[in-house]
Amino acid sequence: MRVMRLFTAFLGCLLVLSARAEVDALKAELISEVSAAAPGKTFLVGLHLQHPPGTHTYWKHPGIVGLATRIEWSLPEGVKAGGLQWPAPQKVMMASYEAQGYEGETLLMCPITLPATFREKTLVLKAKVSWMHCGKTCHPATDLPFSISLPVGDAVNGNPSNQPLFEKFRAKLPAPPTDWRRISVERKGDQILLTLEPMLRQRDPSWNDHPPLRFFTADGQVDSDQEQNVQVSPDGVVVMTLPTSTTGPKNPTSLPGVVEIPTGKALRYIEINPKHGS
């Protein structure tokens, strides 16, 4: 019944907002970290999204509602595009439902590699981009054309106008969990217990007994709209009780996702994928 209500809300969002797509104020631009490419070299391009206040697009897994932003490339022969590099997500609201996405601005980065045999003097990258842009209502966009052209020389040259933006969002990519001795996960009925044991066996002095850690699901196992319970022992061991989603994958073997960890006034993000029963 709850799944049907979510679907009805999402469908209504589509019907209402597709008629108003012309007033969608989302700014999107395909940009490059370099001003010139070179054969045999790799560089980054990025989809820069600037959201109006109170609106958002979605992370690689949106949660229980929404659609992830998608880029489909059309590239010259031999040129390769790697996987999207997604900055850490935020909790966003689609109507009354909590989801996973981005407010403000974000940069979805993608590595582009030229073959050593590339002989053209100009590199033209074409893409079709789709997204779901939501606030109180939603503005879907499908297969919007984007392109970028770069000269090709003997060496890769940085673009000083864009490099600070790439550096800013490279720093927002989730990091490996190097500060944690052990991360384990166990399924118990309709809940998942995620345990994180720190290297130093001491709790962050800025935390209370229930610090606002948050888990972002990368495959839909966890229901993004339900409360996550967090408890911390005196020696800093974190136990997160996560609600499972009725629409998640069947019989998953691991728990991929990102954990948001408050540290003083800042937030850190770690990317994890522990095996179930570990």
Measured CA distances, 240 to 62, 88, 212, 248, 250 (Å) = 20, 19, 10, 18, 21
Closest listed residue to residue 206, CA positions, set 263, 132, 142: 263
pLDDT higher than 90, residue 90 = yes
b/e per residue, 202-218, with b = 16+ CB within 10 A? ebeeebeeebebbbbbb
Could you tell me the domains of the chain? 2-170 (2.60.40.1250), 180-272 (2.60.40)
The token pair at 12 is: 């209504």
What is the residue-averaged pLDDT of the chain? 89
pLDDT, tens digit, 9 for 90 and up, residues 80-89: 999 999 999 9
pLDDT, tens digit, 9 for 90 and up, residues 237-272: 999 999 999 999 999 999 999 999 988 778 999 999
pLDDT at residue 20, as a whole number: 26
pLDDT at residue 205, as a whole number: 76
The token pair at 112 is: 């582009």
Contact 152, 36 (CB under 8 A): yes
pLDDT at residue 234, as a whole number: 87
The token pair at 175 is: 């990091």
| Higher-pLDDT residue of 89, 19 | 89
pLDDT, tens digit, 9 for 90 and up, residues 31-82: 999 999 999 999 999 999 999 999 999 999 999 999 999 999 999 999 999 9
| Claim: this prediction has a pTM higher than 0.75 | yes
Contact 140, 67 (CB under 8 A): yes
Measured in degrees and rounded to the nearest 5, phi and psi for residue 226 equal -105, 155
pLDDT at residue 196, as a whole number: 96
Closest listed residue to residue 129, CA positions, set 251, 234, 30: 30
Rounded Cα gap, residues 157 and 144, in angstroms: 28
Rounded Cα gap, residues 213 and 177, in angstroms: 14
Helices marked H in the chain? 2-18, 163-170
Rounded Cα gap, residues 260 and 182, in angstroms: 17
| Higher-pLDDT residue of 126, 15 | 126
pLDDT at residue 17, as a whole number: 30
pLDDT higher than 50, residue 278 = yes
pLDDT at residue 277, as a whole number: 86
pLDDT higher than 50, residue 210 = yes
Element (H, E) at 229: strand 229-232
pLDDT band at 203 (very low <50, low <70, confident <90, very high): confident
pLDDT higher than 50, residue 7 = no
Contact 244, 252 (CB under 8 A): no
pLDDT band at 11 (very low <50, low <70, confident <90, very high): very low
Closest listed residue to residue 259, CA positions, set 230, 226, 233: 230
Mean local confidence (pLDDT), 191-209: 85
pLDDT at residue 13, as a whole number: 42
Element (H, E) at 98: strand 97-102
pLDDT, tens digit, 9 for 90 and up, residues 135-186: 888 989 999 999 999 999 999 999 999 999 999 999 999 999 999 999 999 9
Mean local confidence (pLDDT), 95-120: 97
